[in-house]
Amino acid sequence: TKLRAASASMASCCCPIIASFVSFLLVFPVLFSSAAGNGSTFGEEQLGLRRMKARLARVREASVKTIQGLILVILQSPDGDVIDCVPSHLQPAFDHPRLRGQKPEEEPAARPGNDHAMEDDDEEEVLPQTWRSSGEWCPKGTIPVRRTTEGDLLRASSVRRFGMKPRSAAARRDSTSNGHEHAVGYVSGGQFYGAKASLNVWPAQVSSPAEFSLSQIWVISGSFGNDLNTIEAGWQVSPELYGDNSPRFFTYWTSDAYQETGCYNLHCAGFVQTNGRVVIGAAITPVSAYGGRQFDITLMIWKDPKKGNWWLQLGPSGALVGYWPSSLFTHLGARGRGGADMVQFGGEAVNTRPSGSHTPTQMGSGRFPGEGYGRAAYFRNVQVVDWDNNLIPAAGLRLLADHPGCYDIAGGQGGAWGSYFYYGGPGRNVRCP
């Protein structure tokens, strides 16, 4: 009761109110005009708005506590995030038709290789995030959800597709990228049941709200037509999605090649969060500095061989963030042999070719791989999970850059870093006009 009273007081004081859509309605014509260019009709945008309002209201009503900024109610965090603590069984995932009435699954008893359950004392070191500087935590039995605000919706090119990648987005498969440029390492030609790597985090500069820069792991299955299944996680800078240029921890999934299924983070029903101390979509801090200290995050995605769900593990100590239920997928959904055909590691940047030239949006640190440690972005200890739930080096890792003069990649093998590579670049330069 006290927590609910605190939330009510906070809402009347200074928290953004999700239900306040008056100014949003006033700018409908502008929003729908831009949406038309995105392939949506006026009616589809109206329907999308109604659904979004209903979903945001459900999250808001379910919240038992709200955390705003560095100090409860009084200050906002530098990234302006507001965190709602939502009972885990009422989280957005369970709005999905295939998940309704369910509760979060128990953590798998076995993990790939030598990975094991983390110790509670290490939990706060999983992923340093700005919101945690407040000293406030979500109560047991709840998960922290980054609140979607009116401003987030106003920045979107389409409300109906809010939180989704453009239909033209795709995992890298050839030299044509439709404005999405990649520098990646990948393995294919077998069945893979997960992937793991450590990647350093950078404040990549993104030149336009219509563009983004990310570094991630892709787990991929199916053809590169309309039945492509992907599971993705990493860090991303996206001014349109988040409203700033901070690198943020993110997840993504799709079961139909980014057409109508899947989304970033918890923006749609799907990913089930089990961790109460990590906010998906929140800013990561500190980050790596050019010529200075490097900060990386360790990610592992793997398939539970018993139930078929794909789990996300974060941090060297092994905290589980949550899972993508097998029922979301076709190719990745089957138990047993339902593995991935390909695993990719690396960077992606959007190039809208402003003024007819290549974008200066950075990938990674914005520096080419040749500059090496402390200057270029990297992936280290690149591994995959085999059929017997073992972590093994990513043998035969192929390195490929769509446009090496803009964003490049170079790798190596051996020592404490195992299989590794440096990647990235500045975008527009003398080699990339």
The three state secondary structure string of the chain is CHHHHHHHHHHHHCCCCCCCCHHHHHCHHHHHHHHHCCCCCHHHHHHHHHHHHHHHHHHHHHCCEEEECCCCCCCCCCCCCEEEEEEHHHCHHHHCCCCCCCCCCCCCCCCCCCCCCCCHHHHHHCCCEHHHHHCCCCCCCEEEEECCCHHHHHHCCCCCCCCCCCCCCCCCCCCCCCCEEEEEEEEEEEEECEEEEEEECCCCCCCCCCCCEEEEEEEEECCCCCCCEEEEEEEEECHHHHCCCCCEEEEEEECCCCCCCCCECCCCCCCEECCCCCCCCCEECCCCCCCCCCCEEEEEEEECCCCCCEEEEECCCCEEEEEECHHHCCCCCCCCCCCEEEEEEEEEEECCCHHHCCCCCCECCCCCHHHCCCCCEEEEEEEEECCCCCEEECCCCEEEECCCCCCEEEEEECHHHCEEEEEEECCCECCEC
Residue 387 — pLDDT band, cuts 50, 70, 90? very high
Residue 177 — pLDDT band, cuts 50, 70, 90? low
Active site includes 371?
no
All structural domains of the chain: 180-424 (2.60.120)
Is 389's pLDDT higher than 80? yes
Which pLDDT score is estimated for 276?
A: 92
Which pLDDT score is estimated for 152?
A: 87
Is 70's pLDDT higher than 50? no
Give me the catalytic one of 106, 181, 232, 371.
232
Which pLDDT score is estimated for 242?
A: 94
pTM for this predicted structure: 0.84
For residue range 315-374, what is the model confidence (pLDDT) as tens digits?
877 899 999 999 999 999 876 568 999 999 999 999 999 889 999 999 999 999 999 999
Active site includes 107?
no
Is 219's pLDDT higher than 90? yes
For residue range 253-284, what is the model confidence (pLDDT) as tens digits?
999 999 999 999 999 999 999 999 999 999 99
For residue range 57-67, what is the model confidence (pLDDT) as tens digits?
766 677 777 77
Which pLDDT score is estimated for 18?
A: 34
Supply the mean pLDDT for the chain: 83
For residue range 99-139, what is the model confidence (pLDDT) as tens digits?
999 999 999 988 997 655 544 444 455 688 888 777 778 89
Give me the catalytic one of 45, 106, 348, 371.
348
Which pLDDT score is estimated for 44?
A: 67
